[in-house]
Each structure stands twice: as C-alpha cells, then as structure tokens.
Amino acid sequence: MIRFEKVTKTYPGQARAALDQVSVDIEKGEFVFLVGQSGSGKSTFLRLTLREYRATSGRVYVAGKEISRLAGWKVPRLRRQIGTVFQDFRLLQNKTVAENVGFALQVIGKPKSTIDKVVPETLELVGLEGKGDRMPDELSGGEQQRVAIARAFVNRPMILIADEPTGNLDPNTSVGIMKLLDRINRTGTTVLMATHDAGIVDQMRKRVIELEGGKVVRDQARGIYGYQN
C-alpha cells in the first residue's frame, strides 16, 4: 500500500538529508506507528506519502503507483484516497460538525442525497451521533478529534495518516481515539500514525518503525515505543 525504495529527501538549502535512503514496505490493512525524536524525519515521511513533497531520489509508491512521478493534476485524486488527521484537529470553525464532515464529500462532487445519508452514519461510527448540529467550539478536544477522524474517513480512504493525533489530548481521551483508529483499521484501512506517545504505542503493540537522523533504525512487528525522549 505504501512502499519507499531508497528514498532520500533533502530540503533546499539543507546540507543534511531529512530522510536518508529509507526503504519501507507497508501492506494493505496494516497499522504502523512511526516514532523517533523530534527532527528524525517522521513528518517528512508522511508528507512524501501525500506527495506534498517529491523525493530527492528513490521511489515512493502508494497503492502500486509511483507517486513521485505522478503528474500534478493527478495528485488530488491520490490525496482523496488518503485521509489525514492532525494534532490540532483543523476543523472549520464556522461550520457545524455535520458540515465539516460533509464538506469533504461536497468538494469531490457527491450529491446531497449521498451526503445526507453518509454523514450521520459516519458520525455514529465515531461516537458522535446527535452532535451534527454543534459547532466545533462547543465540543471537547476528544470530540473535536473524532470529528476530524470522521471527516478523514467519510469517503472511506485506503489509507489514514495521523500525525500526533493524541498530542493535545489527556491519556483517557487518547485511549478512546486509539480505539476508534483501531476500529477504522479493522475495516481494512491502512493506518500510519506518527507519535511521541509512548503509553499508546506500548499498549497497542502494532508494528513500530523508528527513525533516527532520517534513517530507519528499527522496524518491529508488535513493537514498543522503545526509546527515551
């Protein structure tokens, strides 16, 4: 589903590569934690997967396609297959919960009848049934993250990328968010999550890929967080 072949990314003006000859293979349906100290290259890995950047050398494949060579006009189609969730939720504050989730379908041209059916179903899936008419600022942090996950998942992407999704949440709330991501993963969606949350990684026992100075230093099935902050 995601394959990096000797991928190097050097940002303009930087002497050191942010990712250095990284090779990784992630199968459909896997749940993978990406760990490593600040600056180790986690965000760069995620951004290359989304084609926000092109690799300086090497190849990045998503769903069998080599995306570093993808024509620019095909990038939106790629991104539609990848849901994204961030630490800071990134909800549209002037739209209701249902509108935030429905907007993702609206922009890809889905008819209103589909949106009216799928949005409540997805809100129910994330445990927010009945809260569609609320505004984001009327929700707790954990609930706002559930809205963000609903928005990322509403068109059933093949891949869900989560960058520190529990970074702003207390431990109990984080457990709820992880249960939800696990549930989404069980529907067949590949989940790739960058995190500094040792407790969560140790509890979930999923595959752990550790980066250090832009290199993969560990790739462990049913792994633990395993490094000191």
Ligand X SMILES: Nc1ncnc2c1ncn2[C@@H]1O[C@H](COP(=O)(O)OP(=O)(O)OP(=O)(O)O)[C@@H](O)[C@H]1O
Instruction: Point out which residues bind ligand X (CB under 6 A).
Output: 11, 14, 18, 36, 38-44
Query: Least CB distance from residue 45 to ligand X, whole Å?
Result: 7
Query: Least CB distance from residue 151 to ligand X, whole Å?
Result: 22
Q: Between 47 and 110, whose beta carbon lies closer to ligand X?
A: 47
Query: Least CB distance from residue 42 to ligand X, whole Å?
Result: 4
Distance set, CA 48 to CA 19, 121, 215 (Å):
10, 31, 15
Of 132, 120, 129, the residue nearest 96 (C-alpha): 132
Q: Between 143 and 164, whose beta carbon lies closer to ligand X?
A: 164
Q: Between 40 and 190, whose beta carbon lies closer to ligand X?
A: 40
Contacts within 8 Å (CB) and 24+ apart, 112-119: 118/154, 119/154
Question: At a CB cut-off of 8 Å and minimum separation 6, what does 40 contact?
Answer: 210, 211, 212, 213, 214
Query: Least CB distance from residue 216 to ligand X, whole Å?
Result: 12
Query: Least CB distance from residue 105 to ligand X, whole Å?
Result: 30
Sheet holding 159-163, edge to edge: 82-86, 159-163, 190-194, 31-35, 207-212, 215-220
Tokens 């249902």 locate to: 98
CA dihedral sign, ordered 60, 63, 65, 71: negative
Q: Between 13 and 72, whose beta carbon lies closer to ligand X?
A: 13
Query: Least CB distance from residue 119 to ligand X, whole Å?
Result: 31
Q: Between 11 and 226, whose beta carbon lies closer to ligand X?
A: 11
| Dist CA 184 CA 188 (whole Å) | 7
Q: Between 17 and 125, whose beta carbon lies closer to ligand X?
A: 17
DSSP state, residue 73: G
